[in-house]
Amino acid sequence: MLACRVVSDPIFVAAGVVVPASALAMHAVRASGPGGQNVNKVASKVELRVDLAQITGMHPAARERLRALAGGNLDAEGLLLVTSQRTRDQKQNLEDARDKVRAMIATALVVPRKRRPTRPSKGSVERRIQEKKHRGRTKATRRGEE
């Protein structure tokens, strides 16, 4: 695995939901894009890896939603990979990556509402049929029929 350093602060998401510091590993790499003379010297892009299995206080259903949200950001070992190169400062990029993790977990904690199938009202069905008949009559007059 890459030479990563363990992040010292845990991420507090919601009441009782915490990503412990032991579940976080940060790796700094060179960012793409403009950077002036420092572009080839400073590793300001941050790759933050999160072990989803170590997150405490999550319901199993929320953990599955998080895994689905992570999608292509999961590596071969099942770790969530979050990157940030928004700024030229490594510390700010680390905070941005931590915010992305926090937002993703908070999204997974929200239980989606069940869809209740509905039927169109009688009035809307009638209006639709009348509009179709009107459209058909309009086209029939263009063809010279009636």
Distances (CA, A) of 49 to 72, 74, 115, 118, 124: 13, 9, 34, 43, 52
**3-7, 14-18, 69-73, 103-107 — which one is most confidently predicted on average?**
103-107
Q: How confident is the model at residue 18 (pLDDT cuts 50, 70, 90)?
A: confident
Helix (H, G, I), strand (E, B) or coil at 1: coil
For 60-107, the pLDDT digits (tens) are 999 899 989 888 888 888 889 998 988 888 889 989 999 999 999 999
Residue 133 lies in a domain: no
Both tokens of 28, joined, read 């700094």
| Domain-embedded: residue 134 | no
Question: Residue 79's domain spans which residues?
Answer: 5-109
Mean pLDDT of 104-120: 92
State the CATH number of the domain containing residue 85. 3.30.160.20
State percent of the chain over pLDDT 90: 36
Q: 99 lies in a domain?
A: yes
Kindly report the three-state secondary structure assignment for every residue of 119-132.
CCCHHHHHHHHHHH
Domain-embedded: residue 129: no
Q: For residues 55 and 51, give the distance between their C-alpha atoms in angstroms, rounded to a whole number.
A: 7
pTM for this one? Answer: 0.72
The SS3 call for residue 95 is helix
How many independent structural domains does the chain possess?
1
Look at residue 125 and tell me if it is in a domain.
Answer: no
Dihedral pair phi/psi, residue 41, rounded to 5°: -115, -30
> Is the pLDDT at 2 greater than 60, yes or no?
no
Instruction: Give residue for tokens 């029939």.
Output: 140
Strands (DSSP E) found in the chain: 5-6, 11-14, 17-19, 24-29, 45-51, 79-84
What's the pLDDT score for residue 74?
87
The answer as to whether 104 is a domain residue is: yes
Q: Which residues on adjacent β-strands are paired with residue 29?
A: 45
Does residue 67 sit within a domain? yes
With respect to residue 140, please indicate whether it lies within any of the assigned structural domains.
no
Choose between 4 and 21: higher pLDDT. 21
Q: How far apart are CA 82 and CA 98, in angstroms?
A: 8
